[in-house]
Amino acid sequence: MAPPILRLDDIGLTFGGTPLLQGASISVQPGDRIALVGRNGSGKSTLLKIAAGFIEPQDGEIFRQPSATVRYLQQAPDTEGFTTVRAYVEAGLGPADDPYRATYIMENLGLTGEEKPDTLSGGEARRAALARVLAPQPDILLLDEPTNHLDLSVIEWLEEELSRTSSAFVVISHDRRFLERVTRATVWLDRGVTRRLDRGFAHFEEWRDQVLEEEERDQHKLGRQILREEHWLRYGVTARRKRNMRRLGELQSMRAKFRGHRGAEGSAKMEASEAAESGKLVIEAKSIAKTYGDAAIVRDFSIRVQRGDRIGLVGPNGAGKTTLLRMLTGELEPDSGSVRLGVNLEIATLDQRRAALDPEETLAHFLTDGRGETVVVNGEERHVVSYMKDFLFKPEQARTPVRELSGGEKARLILARVLARPSNLLVLDEPTNDLDMETLDLLQELVSGFAGTVILVSHDRDFLDRTVTSTIAPDGDGRWVEYAGGYSDLLAQRGSTRFVKRAGETRAAPEKVTRESGSGEAPAARGSARKLSYKQKFALESLPKKMEETTAAIAKLEATLADPQLFARDPKKFGANAEKLDKERAALAAMEEEWLELEMLREEIEGS
């Protein structure tokens, strides 16, 4: 096993009260793909900042290989002092890094590089920060919620990029499907302590449940053992004759261990306050359209939304999802066409911008709108502290200012307020941002079981597949189409198409079927431009080195397998090496073919 390039041992950190981290450890070896998971507020981001060197722990040891390069993706990037996004991204490159790669990454993230940092939206700022950490191809990538505010096309591209990268990475994300596709190991941070599973996130939840069940059994056994020892202490013959100091000491230790055990964090309880039943017809839109300048955002769209429907809106950032949502709910007038809302509608809206949050307001004041100490949920008056507990807030947080909450806690807080208001139409704009897995599960159950109607915007493919009955997606040039089922059903009905948004273009495009050199177009289409793109130039220059490295790896594997005693001595190792050899050979053949295509294209362009 190769030595780690990053190792954190027995990390301890306390901000007053219960320790946030106590004995947390993580080890990163070359090529590792690790998911760091845990509840909101468990210390995941803090542990990642310690690994990046931004926070010093109070206890524990940190080792970083001196020659290793580390890049950390912050949730809120600092772009101050840079005139353009390109300047910000290229400032992260080292002397030996290729500037072509920075351009290639920006293009695939939908950035031109000429954007002004002080005018970036939340999604654009996140893409710029991603470009800055991905462009240098560091030894270690530390990614904190890389999919937040990204649209589906960019998330899918990021999955492919991370699958190809030679960098080791540790990633925090609430996106189940993303974690399932990119990770090979999982580190669970729970009650300040880490546990590692050497399998990807797809196997995590089953393993976590087994660990918690075993812990509960062990705690029950310890309680029974204490009872037996106390019985011996009172009634045992040996206890009456003399004091067995060793046994008394063991009993005291068991009592301390039992009392000091921190049980698993409680589960959130989500219940939407339901208003009286709406009419059967909730929304009817006929031939609605919206244009901003020369850009058609919505063109000739019609839909009938019935009571009980759960509708998802998907598409690239800037495609017009929020505009369409606002027109359907009557908040925005269409340029043409009509929208009719049904009778008895009570609408509760979750705004993705979290605009309702005042950073100086306390949690209790926010939930009650400043009206006393109680909140009414489903017609029942409840004390605000009791209601806060349903969303995993501690009683002492009632007077805490909103500014001191983590991103996940803010998401839970605004959900608590939205769900307390009586409604029969839930409008949720990016409800999954910053939520942990357990809270996300409960939100899925709430949406699926809601007696009224739900319209939601989300980039979370797993969430869409589990909750919605139909999905609305853009089809280019302002046209929107409704498909039955969730996101996976949408892809099947479109004929395996994905959404593309690159440098201002929004359209539906066929899923890539050619081997990637950073471009999804076929060779003939690429040649029509009569010049190589930055991505093609980068691939043409970098592929020979990759082919050389792969050839060396193949030679090493062949030498290992040439040992006649290997199979008899270690059949598992023989099988693993044989399988790896097949993959390396296939990868080399693909790279050779790709390089040949690009070289022929280059010669054709230069010859013309």
* pLDDT reported for residue 60: 94
Buried b (16+ CB within 10 A) or exposed e, 224-261: eeeeebeeeeeeeeeeeeeeeeeeeeebeebeeeeeee
* pLDDT reported for residue 496: 53
CA-nearest of 544, 566, 432 to 155 is: 432
* pLDDT reported for residue 546: 85
* pLDDT reported for residue 526: 36
Name residues whose C-beta falls within 8 Å of residue 228's C-beta, 6 or more positions apart in sequence: none
Average pLDDT over residues 37-42: 83
513 compared with 200, residue with greater pLDDT? 200
140 compared with 208, residue with greater pLDDT? 140
Model confidence pTM above 0.75: no
Angle, vertex CA 131, rays to CA 127 and CA 135, nearest 5: 170
Residues making up the chain, counted from first to last: 608
Q: Which fold has domain 281-503?
A: Rossmann fold (3.40.50)
Q: How far is it, in rounded angstroms, from Cα 12 to Cα 232?
A: 38
* pLDDT reported for residue 445: 83
What percentage of the chain's residues is helix, strand, coil (to nearest 5)? 45, 20, 35
Distances (CA, A) of 464 to 156, 182, 221, 301, 412: 15, 20, 42, 22, 19
- pLDDT above 90: percentage of residues in the chain: 33
Q: Could you tell me if residue 369 is left (phi over 0), alpha (psi between -120 and 50 degrees) or otherwise beta?
A: left
Same fold, 6-203 and 281-503: yes
Pairing verdict, β 505-510 and 497-502:
antiparallel
CATH 1.10.287.130 assigned to domain 6-203? The reply is: no
pLDDT tens digits, residue range 332-377?
Answer: 999 999 999 998 888 888 876 555 678 888 988 888 888 888 888 8
**pLDDT band at residue 472 under the 50/70/90 scheme:** very high
Range of weakest confidence among 208-212, 271-275, 555-559, 584-588: 271-275
* pLDDT reported for residue 258: 58
From edge to edge, which strands make up the β-sheet containing 59-64?
Answer: 21-28, 6-13, 59-64
pLDDT tens digits, residue range 120-138?
Answer: 877 788 889 999 999 999 9
- pLDDT above 70: percentage of residues in the chain: 84
196 compared with 400, residue with greater pLDDT? 196
572 compared with 186, residue with greater pLDDT? 186
User: Which run of H or E residues covers position 416?
Assistant: helix 407-420
Predicted confidence (pLDDT) at residue 18 exceeds the cutoff of 80: no
Report the range out of 77-86, 239-248, 263-272, 410-419 with the highest average pLDDT: 77-86
Predicted confidence (pLDDT) at residue 479 exceeds the cutoff of 80: yes
Q: Domain ranges for the chain, please list them.
A: 6-203, 207-260, 281-503, 523-607
Per the structure block, which two tokens stand in for 183?
Answer: 């990770």
CA-nearest of 135, 131, 118 to 80 is: 118
Name residues whose C-beta falls within 8 Å of residue 534's C-beta, 6 or more positions apart in sequence: 100, 103, 104, 107
* pLDDT reported for residue 103: 92
469 compared with 123, residue with greater pLDDT? 469
| DSSP β-bridge partners for residue 328 | none
432 compared with 263, residue with greater pLDDT? 432
Q: How far is it, in rounded angstroms, from Cα 210 to Cα 191?
A: 17
Per the structure block, which two tokens stand in for 173?
Answer: 């994300």
Helices 571-607 and 534-561 sit at what angle, rounded to 10 degrees?
Answer: 150
Average pLDDT of every residue of the chain: 82
| DSSP β-bridge partners for residue 72 | 142
The stretches of 183-320 forming alpha helices (DSSP H) are 204-235, 237-241, 245-260
Range of weakest confidence among 182-186, 285-289, 401-405: 401-405
CATH 1.10.287 assigned to domain 523-607? The reply is: yes
Q: How far is it, in rounded angstroms, from Cα 21 to Cα 48?
A: 12
pLDDT tens digits, residue range 511-570?
Answer: 433 333 333 333 333 334 456 776 777 777 788 888 888 888 888 888 888 777 777 788
- Burial of 154 from C-beta contacts in 10 A (0-12 / 13-18 / 19+): buried
